[in-house]
Structures are given as C-alpha cells and as structure tokens.
Structure 1
Amino acid sequence: MARGIFITFEGGEGAGKSTQILALAEALRGLGHEVLVTREPGGSAGAEAVRHVLLSGAAEPFGPGMEALLFAAARSDHVEQLIRPAVERGAIVLCDRFMDSSRVYQGVTGDLDPRFMEALEAVAINGMVPDLTLVLDLDAKEGLRRATARRGTDGADRYEKETLAVHRRRREAFLSIARAEPDRCVVVDATRGRDDVAEAIAEAVYQLLDRRRAVTEKAGAA
C-alpha cells in the first residue's frame, strides 16, 4: 500500500487553522481520500492527557523547558499511536500544529537553547517530518482580535494571554522557518476571505498530490 501524506497547519493565534483544516478535509474526502484530522497538543489518548496541563498554564511555573518536555512527550505518543499508523496505511493526515509550534513557542519566545530543542524534536517526531506545512500568516494584533471573538466568554489560554510583542515575535519566527525550509513550507495569506484562503491551501495540497502521483507512476513504470 502506498504511503500516505502528512500535512501540518501552523501560524499564530486566530489565523484560522482549525477552520481551514476542516474545509480541506472535506475537499479531500470528496476526492475519495481517507483523511484523518488531528491536533496538538493532543490527538492521541496519552497526548490528550497532557493537553489540559499545558493549555491551562499548570506547567507554566516550571518554565519553558518543562513545557517543551511535556510537548515532546505528547508529540511522541501522538506520532506513534496515531499519525505514523495512519500515514503507513495510506491516509492523508491533517494536523493542527506540530513541531514548528514548539520551535516557535518554546524555542524562540521561550528562549530555549536551539541544540536542546533540536535534540528534543528528533526524539519526539522520530523521523515523521511533515510532507507539507501550511503557515497561515496574519498580523498578530488581528489574530488576537479574532481569537478573542472566537472564544466568547471563555478566558484566554496559556498562550493567547501573552503580550502583543510576544505574538509578533512568533509570527516572525514562523515566517523565518518557512524561508529556511521552502521545500516543506508554504505561506498562506490569512488576511484574505475564508474561501480565498481555502483555495490557496487546496492548490498547494493538490500540487503535492500531483507530485506524489507522478513519482508513483514513474516507479511503477520502471
């Protein structure tokens, strides 16, 4: 059975990742693909157990190093219990946040040693690098406005509550990753209307599917 595809969605708060993942999943299922939608922190049973600890801020007093370790533990369980088995059986996996969020949130704005973060990432993902990462880019101030409107009367989570300056650093960090890894990352302008954003995402994904199909056909003909 052909290997599936692993696609991650990244970006700041309020960029519309969750909305766009659902739209893409519907489009891909309409084409006959098996699609698994998941998220981080969480996704698998073990990772979901860690999710509340992280988003509630319960781990915050222990510092970004502890948070990074918890994210890595959750990610390892997520990869091995959910993501890898789905990709190996040929599914398309769409994940709301993955390794780049740790690079940005704990590595850059948590000021953790890059060597520590690289070692932690290598253990956590165990080779499961996304085939495509869609970075939804949005001005940090507008993203926070959207996030506030979305949650209504609920309080801000551990990461939403931080200062505008921190959110701006995160936006630049995501863009820096995309510039450094252009073969994996595609930046999508999230200021556009929902349908226009969905169209840009679909175009990037369909190009990946076409490339994968061409490689498979070439291998079959050899």
Structure 2
Amino acid sequence: MKKRLKHIHPGWFITFEGPEGAGKSTQIRLLRDELEARGHACVLTREPGGTPLAERLRAVVKNYEGPEKLHPTTELLLIEAARSQHVREVIRPALAAGKVVLCDRFFDSTTAYQGGARGMESQVIDSLNELAAAECIPDLTILLDLPPEVGFARAREREETRGEHDRFEEEKLDFHRRVRAGFLKIAEAEPERVRVVNADAPAEQIHRRILEIVDAAL
C-alpha cells in the first residue's frame, strides 16, 4: 500500500487507533467539531462498520455468542469484508468530494488485534488490508496510547456499552498487552503517519495535543 489516496482525491483521511477505553470516540468527536467550526466538511465513521451492511458484520465480529466457535480466520475475513464495503461506499466517495474523513479504527487495528494479539501471519493480514482498503491509506493516524489496565477501568464505566457482550473486551489482559505492543510497533515503523498521544491525561489536554498534530500535518 504505497499510494496515498490524497494523490488522487482532494480530501483528507484521518484515523484514530488505540486499545479499549482509550477515548477514541470522545476525541474524534472533539476534532470533528473543531474542524467543522473552521469550515471543513467532515464525515465521522467507524470500523468495523460505517455502512448498514458493514454494521451487520460488526455485530457478528464484536457480539457473536452462538454455539460455534468464531475462528480467528473467520473474524479476520469478516472485518476485511466490512472494510471493503466501507471504503467503497463511504470513505472514497467522501474523499473524492473533498471532505475530511475521521474514522474510529482502520487497518492498523487489524494488524494489532488479529496480527499482534491473535498471532495471524502478517503477510496474510497485509495482503487482505491492501485488497480491502483499495489504496485508501490514512494521511494521518492518531494512536491514543495507554496501559490496558487503565483502559479496562474506563471501559467498565462507559454507560453506552454497559452490560453489552463484547468479545474483545472480554479477552484476557495479556491479549490487550499484545494489542498495545502491536500498535506501538506500527507507530515505530511509520512515525510520519502514526503519531502517538498519551491517552492517560485529561480529555481537553489530549484534544489540544491532537489539534497541534493535525495542524502541523495537514
């Protein structure tokens, strides 16, 4: 995935990544509000999901409780199928229209969760990410980093998901430590695109830091 979509279309693609409870939803909304106040047309979306069909696949990936085991390969393919639909139905058209696309998770999450934590082959994940993303590579990625213990404490306090079965939040702590390590490995390999922000801080302080990064990058 060497080409960036901004070479083809006039919009900007910014993704937010991080472990459970990192505050991505809060920070992505704060950034949208700021950019819209400056006159930018923004599209706020998420993965897995972002379209009606992709949201149905998200429900299986995150909330499945059936009698069969949801195998890691099945999980990966469902995520990539949802991404393929999302990119083609929402992200690429928005960027072609010159909008700023703000996405809660993208292919870096697949690399960190299904690769770093589940242990699936990186070459397989890279190939599937490339196929699904269709050269749609973020111009900037904000990685909200914090220890998984802190993230779990925050996640338990969220009213909107309290009592909801979430397959990833129910994984053991070691799983989420591997996720964090996977994200930091990506950031180390791509420091120009992926900017690490300490998420163990007040929300307004994090927002100001993100604005500094966005203003400098874009």
Q: Does TM, normalized by the shorter one, top 0.5?
A: yes
- 1:63 corresponding residue in structure 2: 71
Q: Would the alpha carbon gap of residues 2 and 108 (structure 1) be closer, same or farther in structure 2, given more than 3 Å must change? A: closer
Counting only pairs closer than 5 Å after superposition, residues 144-183 of structure 1 correspond to structure 2 as 144-151=152-159, 153-183=162-192
RMSD value over aligned CA atoms? Answer: 1.6
Counting only pairs closer than 5 Å after superposition, residues 89-168 of structure 1 correspond to structure 2 as 89-151=97-159, 153-168=162-177
How far apart are 1:110 and its partner, in Å? 1.2
Distance, in Å, in 1 between the alignment partners of 2:147 and 2:162 is 23
- 1:205 corresponding residue in structure 2: 214
- 1:220 corresponding residue in structure 2: none
More helix by share: 1
Structure 2 residue 1 is the aligned partner of structure 1 residue 23: no
- 2:19 corresponding residue in structure 1: 12
Q: Which runs of 4+ in 1 moved over 6 A?
A: none
Task: Please give the per-residue CA displacement for 1:111-132, whole angstroms capped at 9, x wherever unaligned.
Answer: 1111111111111101000000
Secondary structure of the 2:69 match is helix
Secondary structure of the 1:71 match is helix
Distance, in Å, in 2 between the alignment partners of 1:53 and 1:165 is 23
Answer yes or no: is the 8 Å Cα contact 2:116–2:181 preserved in 1. no
- 2:3 corresponding residue in structure 1: none
Distance, in Å, in 1 between the alignment partners of 2:144 and 2:51 is 24
Q: How many residues align?
A: 209
Residue 201 (structure 2) aligned to one of 181, 185, 192 = 192
TM-score for the superposition, normalised by structure 2: 0.92
Gaps of 5+ in 2: 1-7
Distance, in Å, in 1 between the alignment partners of 2:76 and 2:9 is 33
Identical-pair percentage: 45
TM-score for the superposition, normalised by structure 1: 0.90
Residue identity opposite 1:108 in structure 2: G
Q: Would the alpha carbon gap of residues 196 and 157 (structure 1) be closer, same or farther in structure 2, given more than 3 Å must change? A: same
How far apart are 1:58 and its partner, in Å? 4.6
Greater C-alpha radius of gyration: 1
- 1:78 corresponding residue in structure 2: 86
